[in-house]
Amino acid sequence: MKKIIATILMTVIIMTACFSATGCKNNNSTTKFTVGVCQLTQHAALDQATQGFVDALKAELGDSVEIEIQNASGDTNVCNTIVGNFVSKGVDLIMANATPALQAAYSATTEIPILGTSITEYGVALGTTLTNGVVGGNVSGTSDLAPLDEQADMILEFMPDVTTVGIVYCSAEANSAYQVAEVKKHLESKGVTVKEFPFADSNDISAVVTAACAECEALYIPTDNTAASCAETIGNVVRELKVPVFAGEENTAKGCGVASLTISYYDLGVTTGKMAAKILKGEADVSTMKVEYAPATKKYNKEMCEAMGLTVPAGYEEMN
């Protein structure tokens, strides 16, 4: 009898300890997860990725997950503050939307699982090398990278006689510099002269785009968060000067471009949300999860094509 009583008491003690410890969150009947989302800035692509993430995670976990969304309004220092607060609160997972948010999270914790989204190239963003598509450590996520050689070829499909292309991008975004180098290399291999026009922040983008238009027949804008948030400003300049823009993602092209080889950022967010659910439910280990990609589609902006007098090649879908 004493052995039975002792066994019962020990079981009660273990269960009590389990329910009070964070390490027992895999018991789904009592689980309440907290997820922190750090989004670099507010623009359509990032907004869609965050919404897709939230919708997918809620669909998987319902009321058992609490999601806190914070927007850094384009300030990388604010990203550091947001992520630092998440770490202090002991959230179960951090979703970092855009490269500066991922870099902030990567610097802030090696323990809490981190998933990135809207990240072009994880190796460049984090200064590391992926192994078979795996970042390793506590980081994984999804990439918004569409094939850069095909993006460059878009320009030649619309403008086969083009001789000079300007690339406009934010010098503060590491992934933009990576895209610039790849697109430049491909265009130069086709005999096109490429000029780079970096800008530091949104304050000088109008002047930089104006200078680029004066020297080039067409412009290319990579998947660049600062440029995307200033798409309308860029559009006003290029409409007046009649210089077409080709963009790395659809939402930038809607504001200022004629075409884009683009992905669905909402679908990208959904994929990220499903990855998060697997991690939280203990079905996957972030350290072994491969970075996932989305299929790309060629799309054109009808209004801009007409304004620039360009004929749309076969194989392009009209943007909605």
**For the whole model, what pTM was predicted?**
0.77
Q: Which two tokens stand for residue 253?
A: 């092209």
For 132-179, the DSSP string reads TTB-BTTEEEEE-PPPHHHHHHHHHHH-TT--EEEEEEETT-HHHHHH
CA 246 to chain centre: 19
Q: Which two tokens stand for residue 144?
A: 């918004």
Question: Could you give the domains of the chain?
Answer: 31-144+265-289 (3.40.50.2300), 148-262+298-318 (3.40.50.2300)
Ramachandran angles phi, psi of 207, nearest 5°: -65, -40
Spatial CA neighbour of 226 closest among 8, 38, 102, 41? 41
pLDDT tens by residue, the chain, 320 residues: 444 444 444 444 434 443 333 333 444 445 899 999 999 999 999 999 999 999 999 999 999 999 999 999 999 999 999 999 999 999 999 999 999 999 999 999 999 999 999 999 999 999 999 999 999 999 999 999 889 999 999 999 999 999 999 999 999 888 899 999 999 999 999 999 999 999 998 899 999 999 999 999 999 999 998 999 999 999 999 999 999 999 999 999 999 999 999 899 999 999 999 999 999 999 999 999 999 998 899 999 999 999 999 999 999 999 98
CB contact set of 266 (below 8 Å; sequence gap of 6+): 48, 49, 51, 52
Spatial CA neighbour of 35 closest among 59, 65, 58? 65
Give the number of C-alpha atoms closer than 13 A to the C-alpha of residue 79, restricted to the C-beta side: 22
Whether the CB-CB separation of 218 and 197 falls below 8 Å is answered with no
For 63-89, the DSSP string reads GGEEEEEEE-TT-HHHHHHHHHHHHHH
265-293 burial by CB neighbour count: b if 16+ within 10 A, else e? bbbbbbbbbbbbbebbbeebebeebebbb
Q: Measure the CA–CA gap between 8 and 19, rounded to whole angstroms.
A: 17
Q: Measure the CA–CA gap between 179 and 170, rounded to whole angstroms.
A: 11
